[in-house]
Amino acid sequence: MNNLSKTLLSLAVLSSSAAFAGDARCPSHEPFSQAVNNLCWDCIFPIYVAGVKIDASSKKEDKKDSGKGDEKNSKGNFGIFHNPGVPSDAYTKPFCSCREGKIDKPGISESLWEPARLVETTYMAGCMPALGGAVTKLCPGGNGVSSHSGDVPYGNEHDYRNVHMYAFPILRILNMTTDAVYVKDGYQDVSLMELSELNPFYKDGSLSMVATPETMIVSAMSALAPIACLGEVPMTMTNHSPVESLWWCAGNWGVYYPLVGTVLGSNSFRATSLEATRLLALMHREGREFNTIGKDNMCNAHVSEKLPKQQWKMQHYFPVPENGSHVIGYPTILWNSMQHYPGIKGQTDGYVLFRWNDCCNHME
């Protein structure tokens, strides 16, 4: 049985297990028809092999704009194609080496944007769109009632969503890349990594401040924190690398601290993007995500408790796929305005997270 068959079987068994039930209110993302078919395969590029940059082979029909700004490509993606380039911290030299014992084994470098995670946001506690719309009974409020503690009012001013993260090693599942890319984490299949409903730090602002004390620094900065973020906006507006020194900023989306599920404002795409960023930052803060960018991480990834913003980019794939990908903080109006979907309250959104992966293919 190949990797793809095993993955499909695992998802089928998981979603039909006793811990899950169906609910008409929970939509299905159908991950292998939505995320795979609508995945921006050109967003894996540029690829570096031995220091040689390889761009996507074709930027023809699917990426042309008619001048009207609302053309639909062959995959159903709306808008002008957009994709970040190479992060400024990336390793682009031809040669590398990995130490084993007292021996440095020479090799050649390989780098690419690797589709690595799926993130979904939902108002309904326990709703798992990526598992075919199953509703887990493991979560508080798994009968459809929100699991939010209610410390912030609902409505147009504040929104709270539950967020789930899955490992999505699609290149490994499809045997599309070398073993060097696989050593960074232990995921070889689609795996559930996080349910925010079960994470008290994501649901409660006071607990979050205990887990992430740097939140107090951001809070103490008051109005200065978002003002400082204005310096990152020009970089994100051109879809270039975010500014790592502004560690609390998410470009045009604003300050992403505290790392909780409540977001100010009613813009669905901005809110879900910010919530996906917060969960990713929380995963790093808890030591559950790795740094895969740069020379020091080519042979073995290291746990990073700080969100390496340059390492990650996103593609909105559900309910309407984005025609390209964007860095953290990229203005939503530049990637969702032509999706012909209103972003209504109550919708679920799905994102594919790409990470820049610097690897060393060394001699055995």
Phi then psi for residue 110, to 5 deg, are -145, 130
Q: Which residue, among 148, 166, 154, 348, has the nearest Cα to 268 in the 3D structure?
A: 348
Burial 148-167 (b: 16+ CB within 10 A, else e): beeebeeeeeebbbbbbbbb
- Amino acid sitting at position 12: A
pTM for this one?
A: 0.86
Tokens 């994501």: give the residue.
202
Tokens 């023809």: give the residue.
60
Q: Which residue, among 329, 307, 319, 310, has the nearest Cα to 351 in the 3D structure?
A: 319
> Could you tell me the pLDDT band of residue 335, with boundaries at 50, 70 and 90?
confident
Two tokens at 35?
């995320």
> Could you tell me the pLDDT band of residue 147, with boundaries at 50, 70 and 90?
very low
Phi then psi for residue 353, to 5 deg, are -100, 120
> Could you tell me the pLDDT band of residue 75, with boundaries at 50, 70 and 90?
low
pLDDT digits (tens, 9 = 90+) for 266-315: 678 889 999 999 999 999 999 999 999 999 999 988 999 999 999 999 99
Q: Does residue 338 register a pLDDT over 70?
A: no
Two tokens at 69?
């700004």
Q: Supply the pLDDT for residue 63.
A: 43
Domain positions in the chain: 3-362
- Are 326 and 269 in contact by the 8 Å Cβ rule? The answer is no
Q: For residue 355, what is the DSSP state?
A: E
pLDDT digits (tens, 9 = 90+) for 9-51: 444 444 444 455 667 778 887 766 777 788 999 999 999 999 9
Q: Does residue 5 register a pLDDT over 90?
A: no
Q: Does residue 326 register a pLDDT over 80?
A: yes
Q: Is 169 exposed, middle or buried (0-12, 13-18, 19+ CB in 10 A)?
A: buried
Q: Does residue 243 register a pLDDT over 80?
A: yes
Which tops the pLDDT comparison, 141 or 349? 349
pLDDT digits (tens, 9 = 90+) for 148-194: 443 333 444 578 899 999 999 999 888 887 776 666 787 888 999 99
- Are 29 and 129 in contact by the 8 Å Cβ rule? The answer is yes
Q: Give the percent of the chain with pLDDT over 90.
A: 48
Beta bridge partners of 351: 119, 316
Q: Supply the pLDDT for residue 272.
A: 92
Q: Which residue, among 291, 289, 294, 234, has the nearest Cα to 259 in the 3D structure?
A: 289
Two tokens at 220?
């103490």
- Residue 148 CA to residue 150 CA, distance in Å, equals 5
Q: Does residue 139 register a pLDDT over 90?
A: no
